[in-house]
Structure 1
Amino acid sequence: MHLRALGTAILLLGGTSAVHAASYEFLAAPEVDLNRVYRVDKATGEMSACQYGLATDASKDAKASIGTTLCYPPGEGGGPQAQSEYGLVASRHEKEGGVFRVDLRSGSMSICYVLNDAVVCTPPAK
């Protein structure tokens, strides 16, 4: 009897870790000459983005000679939202540098983009 309960607990814990492993969604900006990828926390809606950056002469060393990853933290409107289920959608506009953060439960959307070294988002709207 105790082995069955232990087996059930292990299965439940294993399922929980799988849920936590898939807690982010990533999407490239639709702009064709921009190497930026956005990330959203699927539970909280918190946004961030990263892109490739060339190493400058001042920062060149053995590790930075191949370049660097530039990341932008959440800014105004890009921080955690109400708990829900969030995703990212890109427009088909090839010169658009931002993405849509969508609340899959309520149907509301925000436009998120990098501004002054942070990912900012418009207020959610339907």
Structure 2
Amino acid sequence: MRLSQFFGGRGRRLRAASLALGPLLATGAALAAGNYEFLAAPQTDLNRVFRLDKATGEIGACQYGLKEGTAIGVTLCYPPGEGAKAGTFSEYALVASRHTGEGGVFRVDLRSGMMSICFVLNESSVVCTPQAK
């Protein structure tokens, strides 16, 4: 059964409306798709990657871990903890220092110039220092 037979004369209008809305919906999806930034910790013997929500500043991290008895291993992820949870809506970015022994990264607010240092604390969660200028 064709759409026009099912809806009568409304099928053509529904098709036209869906064709008109399609590009708008695709644009919204494309805008939402670029909301995260990822950055590896500068520490050269650490396989940790930080994930930042660029709009809220929320930051988490994941790394590879060995699991006894398996050849593949596991992905270990650390949720946002103190200071690393979603904050004021702004425009955030991650910056790594050039210090090869540094396991954390800087979270910067591109609008205010405020920054904090974020790192994994006690292998349980990502924490960030209070923001400062």
Q: Could you tell me the TM-score, scaled by structure 2's length?
A: 0.82
Which ranges in structure 1 are unaligned for 5 or more consecutive residues?
A: none
C-alpha distance in structure 2 between counterparts of 1:51 and 1:31, whole Å: 13
Q: Where does residue 6 of structure 2 map in the other structure?
A: none
1:39 maps onto 2:51 in alignment: yes
CA deviations over 1:15-55 (Å, ceiling 9, x no partner): 11001111110000000110000000111111100001011
Q: 2: distance between equivalents of 1:12 and 1:23?
A: 18
Which structure is larger by alpha-carbon Rg, 1 or 2? 2
Shift of 1:65: 2.8
What letter is aligned with 1:12? L
SS of structure 2 residue aligned to 1:83:
coil
Aligned-residue RMSD, C-alpha: 1.7
Matches for 1:1-126 after TM superposition, within 5 Å: 3=16, 7=20, 9-56=21-68, 60=69, 64-116=70-122, 117-126=124-133
Kindly state the Cα deviation for residue 10 of structure 1 after the two structures are TM-superposed.
2.8
Please give the alpha-carbon distance, in whole angstroms, between the structure 2 residues aligned to 1:13 and 1:83. 23
Structure 1 runs of 4+ aligned residues shifted over 4 Å read: 2-6
Tell me: CA distance 1:31–1:10, structure 2 relative to 1, closer, same or farther (3 Å): same
The residue identity in structure 2 corresponding to 1:115 is L
Higher relative contact order, structure no. (Cα contacts within 8 Å, ≥ 6 residues apart):
1
Distance (Å, rounded) in 2 between the aligned partners of 1:110 and 1:22: 22
Aligned-pair CA distance for 1:104: 1.1
Q: Distance in 1 between matches of 2:52 and 2:18?
A: 36
Unaligned runs of 5+ in 2: 1-12
